[in-house]
Amino acid sequence: MSEKPLSTQSAHSNGATKRAVNREQMNAWIEQLVTRRSVLAGATTLSLAGLAGLVLGACDGEGDVTTMPDGTTQPLMPEFNFEVVSLNMDDKVTLPPGHSAQVLYAYGDPFKSDLAEYSNMGTEPAWQWDYRAGDNHDGMRFFGLKEIADDDYELDPNASDLGILCVNHEKITQALMHDPEGRRSGDRNDVDEVRKEQRAHGVSCVVIQRDEATGQFTIVKDSKYNRRITAYTEMHLHGPAAGSDLLKTKYSQNGLAGRGTLYNCANGYTPWGTYLTCEENYDFYFRDDRTVEDGSKRDPEEIGYANYLAGIGVRFPDGRYGWATLAGHMDESDDEFSRFNITPMAGKSAVEDYRNEGNQFGYIVEIDPLDPQAAPRKRTALGRFSHEGAWPAEVGDGKPVVFYMGDDDQLQFIYKFVSAKAYAANNPGSSPLDIGDTYMDDGTLYVARFDADPMTGRQTGVWIPLRPDNPDLKAASEDMQSPFYGLFGGLASILVHTRAAAFVVGATPMDRPEWGAVNPRNGEVYFTLTNNSDRRGFDDADLDARTDGDQGTRDEVTEFLANREFGEVPSNPRGPNSHGHIIRFRENDNDPTSTGFVWDIFVFGSDAGGPTNFSALTAGNEFTDCDGLWFDSAGLLWIQTDDDISQPDGNHNQMLAATPGAVGDGGLDAGNVDESLRRFLVGPIGCEITGIDMTPDRRSMFVNIQHPDERSSGGHWPADNRDATRAAAAGRARSATIVITRDDGGPLGTA
Ligand code: FEO
Ligand code: CA
Ligand code: CA
Ligand code: CA
C-alpha cells in the first residue's frame, strides 16, 4: 500500500512540475476496480472513470437487511412516503403532493412586538436588526424546550411543540436590502447602510411555538430568549490560540475578546445543548492596502505565502462590501469600520491597529441558546479555516468528544477534532459554555488523507495530527528556506495557520468540502464535495494553461506551496469537478477516535444525460453541486444543492432524500437508483436550498431558502406571502425559513 495518496507522490524538481500519477497508471488502477467489481456486483455498464470512487463490495438488497463485505448486516432503509418532485423553474417552493410549507421567519421579520412588520422596502434603520431576522439564512437547529415558568425554559430533546430555532445568516443580498428609492446598495457614504449590512449577518435564536390545531409554528415575540448575534456582538476567544500575539488588536489588547461573527455558513451542535455556528469565507470582509494599491492582481510573494494560505489576505481588494471605506467617518464609533482594514499602520504596533483582526475569524463559535447574555465563545482548538460546519460523532460516556469539519474552498481539507478529556454525562462545568471549555478547548485537530491502493483498490485513510510534535511541521518550521519557517513552533500558530499546516503534512486536497453528516444507524460520516474547477483532468493538454476562476490566485499559491499536482485522484476522480460528489468513510473499529478509516464515494452528481453520470441518476434524482447534508432520526440522508444555473437544464436548486446503505456497498444502488434517491423539493428563482432540521416527532421540517432572486432575474418569492408553495406576484424576494408539513399530519420522508 502506498504511504502517500496518489496526489502527493511527486514533487517539484528544478522548478519543473511532474504529474503525480500518469494517465496509464490511473487507467490501470480503474481497470482493476472494474474487473473486480464486475465479478462481484455485475456492474459493467458504467464508464471506467465512474468506478474510480467505488470500493469493492457487494449488496444483496434482499430481505430486511443488507449484508456488508465484512459479513455483518445493516438494516435496510425504510421506504420513502412521498412521490418524486419534478425539476422546474417556478418561482415558488414545490413539494410532493400532500405536503405544505409556510414561511416562518423571513429577512426583516421582527421578534419584538413593538416593531412594525417589515416593509420590504429597506427603509428601517440599522439598529432594528438587533431585533429582526438577518439575511441569507443557512445552517440551523431546533432546540426543543419545556416551559418551567412563564417565559422560563429548559431544554427538552423530546419536545416538538416549543423550541428555540437557531439560524445562521451567512451573508447579505445587498441589492435587496436597502431603500431602492433613497440610499442605494453599494453607496459607501451612508453609515447606517453599512451598519445594517453588518447587523444582517450573524445568527438568530428565536423561540417558536406550534399550534396543535393547525400544526403551524409562529415566533413567540418578546421572549427573553430571542436574540440576534451580529458583526457587533461581543465574542470571547478560547482555546490554545486565545491570548496569543496573533489575536491581539487595538480592541483586544490581550487577544481574549473580539467583535462579531461573519459568514456563518453551516452549523453544528454539542451533546451538552449548545449551538455551533461556523465562520466560512471570513477573508471576504477585509481590506489590505499593502497588496492592492493600484488595484492589480495581488502578489503572493509580497503578502507572504503562509499568510496568504491562511486566508489573512483579502479576497476582494476593498473587502466584498467595502465596509472599511468608511474608516475615519465622523460618525464612526469604536473603529466599527476601521477594524476591517488589516493594513499595518505606519509607526503602530499590533495592539494599535487591526492587522490581526482577520485572525479573529475563521473559527467554530459556540452559543448557549438558553443564555442570551452569554458572549459566544470562539473555539480556536478546532482550527482556523473556511469552516463550513461541525458535526459531532455520537457521544459516549467515558469517550472523547469528536467533531468532523470541512474547509470549503477549492483544494482544501476535511478535519476532525478529538477532545483530550473523556465525556461525562454528568458534566463538570457550571454552565453549558463552561462544559464547552472542557471538551472544546483541549484536544487534537486532525486532517484527513484519502489513500487508494492501486493494486487492490482498497480505499483507506489516515488522520494526521496537527501538533508541534508532528515531524513534518517541525521540519518545515525549522527550515530557514521554507515559506513556513517559524510558523509551526507552537500550537497557537499551527491553529491560526491550519491550512498551511494541513498542506505541509500531506493531507488530501478535496473538491470543496461542504456539509458533513453522521449516520445515526452506523456512525459512518458523509461529506458533500460541491465542485472544483481547479481539479484538473489528466487529459488536460497543458496543466498550466487552465483559466483561473475567482479563487485562482489562491490556488496557484497553494499549489506552489504544496509542491504537488491537483489532478484526478480516487477520492476526487473528476477533473474539473463540475457536479460534485458525496464521499463517506467508516472509522476503523467504528471508533470515532481512530486514526484510520475506509472510504468510498456514495454518489456522483450529474445531469441524467451527462457524460459523467457515474451513479446512473435519472429524471427523478439528477442534481449537481450538493452542499447541505443531514441525517434525520430515521436514517434518511437529505441532500441540498447550491447552484441553480448548473442544476440539470438550468432548473432551480433542490433537496433530495436518500437511503444510504453503508461504506463498501458500492455507493448508490445504480440498478435501483430511484428507490434509493428521490427529489423532495425544488426552490424558487435564484435561491440556494440550505439548512435543515426536524422536530423530534418528525412532523415539522425546517428548511432555509437562501438568497431567492440573488441574480435579479425577476423573482419575488415570498415577498409578503406566507404560503411558501405559492408564487408572489410582486415585491422583493427575501431569504426565509420555511416549515414543511404533511397534510395528513404524519412524519416526513418515511413512515
Ligand atoms: Fe457557505 Fe460552503 O457554503
Ligand atoms: Ca454551504
Ligand atoms: Ca455552497
Ligand atoms: Ca452558498
* Residue 409 beta carbon below 6 angstroms from any ligand 1 atom: no
- Give 164 or 455, the one with higher predicted confidence: 164
Tell me if 135 CB under 6 Å of ligand 1: no
Sign of torsion over alpha carbons 493, 495, 497, 503 = positive
The finding on whether 710 has its CB within 6 A of some atom of ligand 1 is no
- The answer to whether the CB of 271 falls within 8 A of the CB of 325 is no
| Lowest mean pLDDT across 148-157, 180-189, 302-311, 336-345 | 302-311
pLDDT (average), residues 560-582: 80
Mean pLDDT value of segment 427-450:
93
Measured between alpha carbons, how far is 417 from 401 in angstroms, rounded to an integer?
Answer: 8
Kindly give the distance from the C-alpha atom of residue 642 to the centroid of ligand 4, in angstroms, as a whole number. Answer: 6
pLDDT of 547 above 90 = no
Evaluate if residue 127 carries a pLDDT over 90.
Answer: yes
Sign of CA dihedral 162, 402, 463, 267: positive
Q: Answer whether residue 617 is part of any domain.
A: yes
Give me the mean pLDDT over the 27-52 stretch.
35
- Any atom of ligand 1 within 6 Å of the Cβ of 665: no
CA–CA separation, 661 vs 521, rounded Å? Answer: 10
pLDDT at 684: 98
pLDDT in tens, 623-651: 999 999 999 999 999 999 999 888 999 99
Q: How many CB atoms lie within 10 A of CB 1?
A: 10
pLDDT exceeds 60 at position 345: yes
Pick the residue whose CA is nearest to atom 3 on ligand 1: 265
DSSP states along 376-429: PEEEGGG--S-EEEEEEPPP-TTSEEEEEEEE-SEEE-EEEEEEEEEP-SS---
* pLDDT score for 184: 63
Q: Is the pLDDT higher at 685 or at 64?
A: 685
> Does 316 map to a domain?
no
| Assigned C-alpha cell, 502 | 494541513
Among 64-68, 410-414, 654-658, the minimum mean pLDDT is found in: 64-68
Q: Into how many domains does the chain fold? A: 1
Q: How many Å lie between the centroid of ligand 3 and the Cα of residue 513?
A: 9
Q: What is the pLDDT averaged over residues 179-195?
A: 82
3-state SS, residue 170: coil
> Would you say residue 21 has pLDDT above 80?
no
The per-residue pLDDT for 117 is 98
Ligand 4 centroid to Cα of residue 92, in Å, is 19
Per-residue pLDDT band at 57 (split at 50, 70, 90): very low
Instruction: Find the Cα–Cα–Cα–Cα dihedral 35, 38, 40, 46, rounded to 10°.
Output: 120
Q: Verify whether ligand 1 is closer than 6 Å to residue 518 (CB atom).
A: no
pLDDT classification of 296: cutoffs 50, 70, 90: low
The Å distance, Cα 114 to ligand 2 centre, comes to: 34
State yes or no: pLDDT of 658 exceeds 90. yes
Q: Is 265 in the pocket of ligand 1 (CB under 6 A)?
A: yes
Residue at 563 is within a domain: yes
In a domain, 400, yes or no: yes
Q: Tell whether ligand 1 has an atom less than 6 A from the beta carbon of residue 279.
A: no
Better-predicted residue by pLDDT, 13 or 198:
198
For residue 493, give the C-alpha cell: 500558530
Amino acid at 472: D
Is residue 625 in contact with ligand 1, taking CB distance under 6 Å?
A: no
| pLDDT bracket for residue 740 (50, 70, 90) | very high
Q: Please give the distance, rounded to the nearest whole angstrom, from the Cα atom of residue 513 to the centre of ligand 1.
A: 9
Residue 610 in this model has a pLDDT that exceeds 90: yes
Q: Is 288 in the pocket of ligand 1 (CB under 6 A)?
A: no
pLDDT band at 7 (very low <50, low <70, confident <90, very high): very low
Q: Are 203 and 261 in contact (CB under 8 A)?
A: yes
Is residue 28 classed as helix, strand or coil in its secondary structure? helix
Does some domain include residue 338? no
164 neighbors 154 (Cβ within 8 angstroms):
no
Confidence band of 308 (pLDDT split at 50, 70, 90): low
Give the amino acid at 471.
P
Tell me the per-residue pLDDT of 191-234, one tens digit each, with 9 for 90 and over: 999 999 999 999 999 999 999 899 999 999 999 999 999 999 99
Per-residue cell: 574: 473528476
Ligand 1 close to Cβ of residue 388 (< 6 A): yes
643 ligand 1 Cβ < 6 A: no
Query: Which atom of ligand 1 sits closest to the CA of residue 266?
Result: 1
Query: Which residue's CA is minimally distant from atom 1 of ligand 1?
Result: 265
In a domain, residue 449? The reply is yes
pLDDT-based confidence at residue 44 (cuts at 50, 70, 90) = very low
pLDDT of 33 over the 70 cut: no
Does the pLDDT of residue 71 top 80, yes or no? no
CA 567–ligand 3 middle distance (angstroms): 22
Q: Considering only 17-26, 44-53, 279-288, which range has the smallest mean pLDDT?
A: 44-53
516: part of which helix (H) or strand (E)?
strand 513-518
Name beta bridge partners: 146.
Answer: 154
What is the Cα–Cα distance from 705 to 683, expressed in whole angstroms?
A: 7
* pLDDT class of 410 with cuts at 50, 70, 90: confident
By three-state DSSP, how is residue 267 classified? strand
The answer, yes or no, to whether any atom of ligand 1 lies below 6 A from the CB of 600, is: no
> End-to-end CA distance of the chain, in Å?
45
Comparing 335-344, 450-459, 543-552, the range with the smallest average pLDDT is 543-552
In a domain, 295, yes or no: no
Q: Which ligand is nearest to the CA of 265?
A: 1
Taking only Cα atoms into account, the Rg of the chain, rounded to an integer number of angstroms, comes to 25
Q: Is residue 651 part of a domain?
A: yes
Local confidence band at 426 (pLDDT 50, 70, 90 cut-offs): confident
Going from the Cα of 514 to the center of ligand 2, the distance in angstroms, rounded, reads 6
Whether pLDDT at 465 is above 50? yes
Ligand 2 centroid – CA 624 distance (Å): 13
Which atom in ligand 1 lies closest to the alpha carbon of residue 530?
2
| Across 246-258, average pLDDT | 97
**Cα-to-centroid distance, 692 and ligand 3 (Å):** 15
Residue 105 and residue 461: Cα distance in Å, rounded? 42
- Of 178, 221, 225, the C-alpha closest to 199 is 178
* pLDDT recorded at residue 70: 64
Q: pLDDT tens digits, residue range 481-493?
A: 777 888 899 999 9
Find the mean pLDDT for residues 405-419. Answer: 95
CA–centroid distance, residue 245 to ligand 2 (Å) = 31
Better-scored residue on pLDDT, 555 or 576:
576
CB 38 within 8 A of CB 605: no
Residue 293 has pLDDT above 70, yes or no: no
Share of the chain above pLDDT 90, in %: 71
Confidence at residue 78, expressed as pLDDT on a 0 to 100 scale: 75
Q: Of 403, 394, 397, 391, give the one whose Cα is nearest residue 423.
A: 397
pLDDT tens digit sequence for 495-506: 999 998 998 898
Q: DSSP state, 522? A: T
The answer, yes or no, to whether residue 539 has pLDDT greater than 50, is: no
4 pLDDT band (50/70/90 cuts)?
Answer: very low
pLDDT band at residue 94 using 50, 70 and 90 as cut-offs: very high
Mean pLDDT for all residues in the chain: 86
Predicted local distance difference test score (pLDDT) of residue 303: 55
Counting residues of the chain whose pLDDT is more than 70, the rounded percentage is 82
Ligand 1 atom closest to the Cα of residue 171 is 1
pTM metric for this prediction = 0.90
DSSP 636-703: PEEEEE--TTTSGGGPPPEEEEE----TTS-SS-GGGHHHHEEEEEE--TT-EEEEEEE-TTSS-EEE
The type of residue at 57 is: G
**Predicted local confidence at residue 201, as pLDDT:** 98
All three cell numbers of 582, joined, read: 458525496
Cα(310) to centroid of ligand 3, in Å? 20
Kindly provide the residue ranges of all beta strands, DSSP E only, lying in 30-125, ordered along the sequence. Answer: 65-67, 73-75, 99-106
DSSP string, 555-624: HHHHHHHHT---B-BTTB--SSBSS-EEEEEEEGGG-TT-SEEEEEEEEE-B-TTSTT-TT---TTT-B-
Which atom of ligand 1 approaches the CA of 408 most closely? 2
Q: How many CB atoms lie within 10 A of CB 740?
A: 24
The domain in which residue 658 lies consists of 23-280+362-466+505-742
The enclosing domain of 94 has a CATH number of 2.120.10.30
Q: What is the DSSP letter of 474?
A: H
